[in-house]
Amino acid sequence: MATKNTNLSVYDKETIPNAKDFRIGLVVSEWNPDITNGMFQGAFDAILDCGGIKDNIVRWNVPGSYELIYGCKKMAQSYDMLDAIVAIGSVIQGETKHFDYVCEAVSQGIKDLNVKGDIPVIFCVLTDNTMQQSIDRSGGKHGNKGTEAAIAAIKMAQLRKDATF
């Protein structure tokens, strides 16, 4: 397991660009709200910790992880001044293949947004086998995937800025 004995929330601020000039969107799934709100808080706090400004963080909610794709697409179209978007969701394995279909669609959809769009969209979707695994990765013993995604968003926002001529 990739996160075994790993804390997702550990980062070195000296290696992270200052986020004070970045506008970052957070699209949050309402499904498994204890998990997704924990990841939102981790992302929000990390952006602020790295110099981000509260008024430069935009949050939109969508019903579930499948809807993250459309939510991120519409956010990118609505806020052309955004520097990065984080898609925050949680899909937990059940008894049917629904888990497989949702996980595949969301990962491919977010990939497509990155390939076709100009705003980096960060994949912050937990795809766990159990609720406990999700708890451990949304502020529990393995830290917070939201924190990790926010750091990725800041780095990608800087890359986007540096690559713009």
Residues carrying an active site annotation = 98
* β-strand pairing of 57-62 with 24-29: parallel
Q: What is the distance between the alpha carbons of residues 105 and 69, in angstroms, rounded to a whole number? A: 9
CB 72 within 8 A of CB 39: no
Tokens of 140: 């529990």
Phi first, then psi, for residue 23 (nearest 5°) are -105, 125
CB 107 within 8 A of CB 72: no
How many beta carbons lie within 10 A of that of residue 53, not counting itself?
Answer: 13
How many beta carbons lie within 10 A of that of residue 68, not counting itself?
Answer: 30
Tokens of 35: 């998990």
